[in-house]
Amino acid sequence: MNAARRFLGLSIFCILVARLSDLRADGGAMRLSERAGGYWITVFTDPTPLRGGPVDVSVFVQDADTGELAPGVRITVQAAPRGRPREAVRHDATVEAATNKLFRSAIFDLPESGWWEFEAAVDGERGRAQVRFEAEAADPPPSWQAMAPWVGWPALAIVLFAVHQMMVRRKARSDALMAPSPSRDAAEPRAYKGGQGAGLPASANSSPLPPAAECARSS
C-alpha cells in the first residue's frame, strides 16, 4: 500500500511539472500594464527569456473605469524587427489560442534574434486604443532542446514503471521476511526413544504377544 501511494505521488508530481509550461503560456514576462483610452491593457510574452522561434503574446483588457474584463473587444497584435516596419507580421489575438480564457493570445514565429517592436490594438465598446513596447529576443534554442519534451516523455514513463516494479518487489520481500515460520515440532517427526509403546501406534501396543514369545518372557 505504501509503495502504491509513493508511486501515485511521484506520478502526480511529474504531471504537474509537465503542465508548468502550459500554465506559463498566459503568464511569462509582463511587458506593460497601462491605461490606453477607455481600457487598461496588460501584455505578457512567453517564453522567458524571449527567444527567436515560437512566441506567445497574451493580452488582458479591462474596462479602465470599473476594472472589469472588457467584453466583446477585438485585439490585433503586430510584431516587426526594430527599424524595419515593412517586415511587420500581424495576427489576431484570440481566446482559442489562449490557455487562460480571460486572455487573448497571438502566436508568432520570430525568424531571428534581436530587438522587436510589438503593438497591440484594441477595438471595442470603449473605442479604439493602442499600446507599444519593445523586447529583445535571444537566439532560438538548439533543435535538441525543442525536441526534449517529446523524447523525454517515453523515458519518464519507463523510469516510473521501473520505480514501481522495484517498490513492488521490495514490498514482497519484506512481507516474506515478516511471515511466521512453521513450528519445528510440526515439521520434524518425533524420534523413537525406546520402551513399550514409545513411538509405536496404538494397535502395536495393544496386540497380544504370540504364545512362543509369552513362554520366552515367562522363563
- The answer to whether residue 20 sits within a structural domain is no
Residues 163-208: tens digit of each pLDDT: 878 888 887 777 777 766 655 555 555 554 554 444 445 444 445 5
Residue 33 to residue 13: CA distance in whole angstroms: 33
- The answer to whether residue 97 sits within a structural domain is yes
- The answer to whether residue 194 sits within a structural domain is no
Domain holding 39, by residue range, is: 25-143
Burial of 178 (0-12, 13-18, 19+ CB in 10 A): exposed
- The answer to whether residue 121 sits within a structural domain is yes
The answer to whether the CB of 134 falls within 8 A of the CB of 31 is no
- The answer to whether residue 15 sits within a structural domain is no
Residue 63 to residue 125: CA distance in whole angstroms: 10
The answer to whether the CB of 167 falls within 8 A of the CB of 3 is yes
- The answer to whether residue 167 sits within a structural domain is no
Residues 30-58: tens digit of each pLDDT: 999 999 999 999 999 999 999 999 999 99
- The answer to whether residue 47 sits within a structural domain is yes
**CB within 8 A of 137, min separation 6: which ones?**
50, 51, 52, 55, 110, 112, 113, 114, 115, 116
Total structural domains within the chain = 1
Nearest to 95 by CA among 118, 67, 70: 70
CATH number, domain containing residue 84: 2.60.40.10
pTM for the whole structure:
0.56
- The answer to whether residue 180 sits within a structural domain is no
